[in-house]
C-alpha cells in the first residue's frame, strides 16, 4: 500500500478500530506529545545502534495501540507489507546488525490476522522515529499509525540514503554469525572453530567486518577494539586469533580471580563483546551529530581512536577507512600513505577542508607546460573542490582516461565492448549492510 498520511489505500477496508481509551504516547502523556526520534547517525549503524533502536521501539510503543494498514513510500524499492488490523501492538528485538519488528493483533481485532514479523537492516542511515501523523519526516519509507482516539502518531522507518532494507517473515538473514552482544559464547566458538576459513588470511581489520563471524562489528568498533589491544590493523587475522585457541586460565585460580584476570586483560574476542556493551550503556539514541548534542558529546568523549586527533588512517581493500595509531602492519596496502588527523587547533576551516594534496613534482608536467600559454582563469571559472575530497569514506570518481580524451577531441567514437555485470564488493562479507 502506498500513500500519504491522509490517504487510504484500496486494501484498507475502513472498519472502525477498536476503542482504546486513554491512549498515550511513549512518555505516558496525551494530547501535546512532541516528536520522539532515534535519528540517523553520521556513520553506518552498528550492533549497538541496532540494539538501542530496539530499546527505543519497545519503550516508545509499550503503551501504544496501532491500527489500519502499513504504508510504504512510493520511492522505496522494499517489499509491500500486507498487514491490516484494527488494533495491534509493535515490539522489537535486535541481533547483530539486524532488527526484528513484530506486529501482534489484539484479541477481537478485525480482520482476523496472524502476527507478522519484519527484519530490518539499517544500511547507512536507517532509524526509527515516533512522530505526530501530520509531521511525517521526509524520508519515512515505512509507516505504522496509532489507532484513535487521541492524536495519532506514526512509527516511521526513516532512511535518508535508502540503503536500508526490510524482509517479511521475521527470519534473521542466513549466513550471519552469532551476535557479539547477546550470543557471546556462540560467537567466540564460531570464530575459533573456523580459523581455517580464507577470511582469516586477510588483515584483522577486514576480517572484523565479516558478518559471518563478527555480526554487529562495524567501522568505529573495529578501530576502538584494535586500538585498545595495540594490534596493527593490517596484521594477518589468523596470526592474531590463533593464540586465543590455547588461552586457558590457570586451574589454580578461583572463579573471582579468573573473572578479575579476564577484565584486566581481555582478548580481542572479549573486547568484541564488551566494547559494544559500553556504547549501549552510554544510553541516548545512538551516535551522530543529529542525535542531539548531549548524546553525541557522550559518544565523542567515549571514543579513543576513531576519527580522533593524532590518529592515522588508511583505506582497506574495500575502501573503508580504518583508524589506528603506530605501525599499520605487514599487510597494509602498498603505495598508500596513511593520513594523520590534525587537532582542532590546526584543522582547516570547513571551506578549506580537503584531503592533503600530493607533493608537487619538480619537473613541470605536460599539462602545466600547456597551461603556460593559456590565460589564467578568473575566480568564477575555477572549479570548486568536490565533496568527495572532503569525505575520506566517499566512493572515488574515476578520472577520465587519455583514450577517452582523444576520442572526444577527434569527434570519433569507437563502439564500446559489452561488459558483464560484476557484483559489488561487500566489505562485511554479506549482501546486507
pLDDT band at 425 (very low <50, low <70, confident <90, very high): very low
Whether 84 and 13 have beta carbons less than 8 Å apart is answered as yes
Percentage of residues in the chain having pLDDT higher than 70: 62
Nearest to 228 by CA among 278, 189, 183, 180: 278
Q: In Å, how far are 71, 182, 196, 205, 290 from 242, measured between CA atoms?
A: 50, 23, 10, 16, 41
The rounded distance, in Å, linking the Cα atoms of 24 and 162 is 31
* Predicted confidence band of residue 283 (pLDDT cuts 50, 70, 90): confident
State the architecture of 184-331 in CATH terms. Orthogonal Bundle (1.10)
pLDDT at res. 165: 96
Residue 156, C-beta contacts closer than 8 angstroms, at least 6 positions apart: 128, 129, 130, 131, 136, 137, 140, 141, 142, 143, 144
Give yes or no for residue 64 having a pLDDT over 80.
yes
Higher-pLDDT residue of 140 and 422 is 140
Across 93-108, average pLDDT = 97
- pLDDT surpassing 60 at residue 133: yes
Can you state the angle between helices 237-245 and 268-281, rounded to 10 degrees? 100
424 pLDDT tier (thresholds 50, 70, 90) = very low
What mean pLDDT comes out for the span 416-426?
Answer: 39
| Catalytic residue numbers, as ranges | 45-46, 97, 382
Interatomic CA distance for residues 205 and 233, integer angstroms: 5
Q: For 24-33, 132-141, 315-324, which range has the lowest pLDDT when averaged over its residues?
A: 24-33
Average pLDDT over residues 242-246: 88
pTM for the full model?
0.69
pLDDT tops 80 at residue 427 = no
Share of the chain above pLDDT 90, in %: 57
- pLDDT for the residue 422: 36
Contact 218, 279 (CB under 8 A): no
Asked if residue 335 has pLDDT above 80, the reply is: no
* pLDDT given for residue 252 in this prediction: 63
CB 241 within 8 A of CB 200: yes
CA 188 to chain centre: 23
CA distance 76 to 166: 11
The residue among 130 and 37 whose pLDDT is bigger is: 130
Measured between alpha carbons, how far is residue 109 from residues 103, 117, 316 in Å? 12, 17, 52
How many other C-beta atoms lie within 10 A of the C-beta of residue 238? 17
- In the predicted model, is pLDDT for residue 248 greater than 50? yes
Please check whether residue 118 is in contact with residue 126, taking contact to mean a CB–CB distance below 8 angstroms: no
* pLDDT of 92 strictly over 70: yes
The CA–CA distances, whole Å, from 299 to 49, 184, 266, 293, 359 equal 12, 23, 22, 10, 36
> What would the mean pLDDT of 187-213 be, rounded to a whole number?
97
Task: Encode pLDDT of 167-197 as tens digits.
Answer: 999 999 999 999 999 999 999 999 999 999 9
- In the block, cell 566494547 appears at 275
Q: Between β-strands 84-95 and 98-105, what pairing exists: parallel, antiparallel or unpaired?
A: antiparallel
Fold of 47-168: N-terminal domain of MutM-like DNA repair proteins (3.20.190)
CA atoms of 179 and 217, how far apart (whole Å): 9
Intra-chain end-to-end CA distance of the chain, in Å: 26
Where along the chain do the CATH 1.10.8.50 domains lie? 184-331
Please state whether the peptide bond connecting residue 111 to the residue before it is cis, i.e. omega within 30 degrees of 0.
yes
pLDDT greater than 90 at residue 368: no
Tell me whether the omega of the peptide bond preceding residue 149 falls within 30 degrees of 0, making it cis.
Answer: yes
Statement: residue 397 has pLDDT above 50:
no
- With a cut of 70, say whether residue 81 has pLDDT above it: yes
What confidence category does residue 24 fall into, taking pLDDT thresholds of 50, 70 and 90?
very low
Amino acid at each position: 500500500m502506498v500513500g500519504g498520511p491522509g490517504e487510504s489505500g484500496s486494501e484498507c477496508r475502513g472498519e472502525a478500530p477498536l476503542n482504546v481509551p486513554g491512549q498515550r504516547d511513549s512518555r505516558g502523556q496525551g494530547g501535546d506529545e512532541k516528536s520522539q526520534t532515534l535519528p540517523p547517525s553520521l556513520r553506518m549503524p552498528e550492533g549497538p545502534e541496532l540494539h538501542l533502536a530496539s530499546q527505543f521501539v519497545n519503550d516508545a510503543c509499550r503503551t501504544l495501540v496501532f491500527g489500519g494498514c502499513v504504508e510504504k513510500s512510493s520511492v522505496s524499492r522494499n517489499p509491500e507489507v500486507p498487514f491490516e488490523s484494527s488494533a495491534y501492538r509493535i515490539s522489537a528485538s535486535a541481533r547483530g546488525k539486524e532488527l526484528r519488528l513484530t506486529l501482534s493483533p489484539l484479541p477481537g481485532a478485525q480482520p482476523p490476522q496472524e502476527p507478522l514479523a519484519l527484519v530490518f537492516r539499517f544500511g547507512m542511515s536507517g532509524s526509527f522515529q515516533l512522530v505526530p501523523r501530520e509531521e511525517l519526516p521526509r524520508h519515512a519509507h515505512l509507516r505504522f499509525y496509532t489507532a484513535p482516539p487521541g492524536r495519532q502518531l506514526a512509527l516511521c522507518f526513516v532512511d535518508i540514503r535508502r540503503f536500508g532494507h526490510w524482509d517479511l517473515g521475521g527470519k534473521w538473514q542466513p549466513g550471519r554469525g552469532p551476535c557479539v552482544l547477546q550470543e557471546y559464547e556462540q560467537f567466540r566458538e564460531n570464530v575459533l572453530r573456523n580459523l581455517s576459513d580464507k577470511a582469516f588470511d586477510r588483515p584483522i581489520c577486514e576480517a572484523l567486518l565479516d558478518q559471518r563471524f563478527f555480526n554487529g562489528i562495524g567501522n568505529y568498533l573495529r578501530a576502538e577494539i584494535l586500538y585498545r589491544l595495540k594490534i596493527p590493523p593490517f596484521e594477518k587475522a589468523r596470526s592474531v586469533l590463533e593464540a586465543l585457541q590455547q588461552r586457558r586460565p590457570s586451574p589454580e585460580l578461583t572463579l573471582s580471580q579468573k573473572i578479575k584476570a579476564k577484565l584486566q586483560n581481555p582478548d580481542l574476542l572479549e573486547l568484541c563483546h564488551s566494547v559494544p556493551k559500553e556504547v549501549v550503556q552510554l544510553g541516548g539514541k545512538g551516535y551522530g551529530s543529529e542525535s542531539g548534542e548531549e548524546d553525541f558529546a557522550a559518544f565523542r568523549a567515549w571514543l579513543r581512536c576513531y576519527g580522533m586527533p593524532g590518529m592515522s588512517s588508511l583505506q582497506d581493500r574495500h575502501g573503508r577507512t580504518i583508524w589506528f595509531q603506530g605501525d599499520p602492519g605487514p599487510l597494509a596496502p602498498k603505495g598508500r600513505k596513511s593520513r594523520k588527523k590534525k587537532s582542532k587547533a590546526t584543522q582547516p576551516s570547513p571551506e578549506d577542508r580537503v584531503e592533503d594534496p600530493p607533493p608537487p613534482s619538480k619537473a613541470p608536467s605536460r599539462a602545466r607546460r600547456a597551461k603556460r600559454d593559456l590565460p589564467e582563469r578568473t575566480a568564477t571559472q575555477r572549479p570548486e573542490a568536490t565533496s568527495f575530497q572532503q569525505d575520506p569514506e566517499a566512493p572515488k570518481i574515476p578520472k577520465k582516461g587519455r583514450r577517452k580524451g582523444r576520442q572526444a577531441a577527434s569527434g570519433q567514437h569507437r563502439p564500446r565492448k559489452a561488459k558483464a555485470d560484476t557484483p559489488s564488493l561487500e566489505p562485511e562479507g554479506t549482501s546486507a549492510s
